[in-house]
Amino acid sequence: MSLGEFTKQLAKEAIGNQMKDVMGAPRPQETPEPIPGHLGAVLIGQVQAMQNALKEDQELVVTCAVGGEQIRLTELFSPALGVLVLTGLDKERNVSRIVTAASAVQLLCKPAQAATGAKGTRMRFVLPRPKSD
């Protein structure tokens, strides 16, 4: 292996490890147990796993674009199978809600550094409670 190939391999591994540190792999104990067939719960679990992997001084910026507006989400709520209610702030900092089918949602999730000296903000996740028989 030449020095150039060796350097490329080291860089590739370093970048891969850094991405794992930032995004983290979902850990089974950190993700809620989804209700079978509940796409909303699966989406919430994935975002929650990304958030749980962050350090205290980081935050997960989750945005959703709808109708030409981009909303920074603060809460994901699944009131029923296949339905999501996304709550967040628009660019004027107005509270906005999107009610949508879980299968139609596209979320952009990016880890970001919190303001200097501040703790990262955390999203809120709400799943319906399974009905007891």
The count of other CB atoms within 10 Å of the CB of residue 8 is 12
Pairing state between β 124-126 and 108-113:
unpaired
Over the stretch 52-109, which tens digit does the pLDDT of each residue have? 999 888 999 999 998 889 999 999 998 888 899 999 999 999 999 999 999 999 999 9
Residue 37 has pLDDT above 70, yes or no: no
Residue 122 has pLDDT above 80, yes or no: yes
The count of other CB atoms within 10 Å of the CB of residue 48 is 20
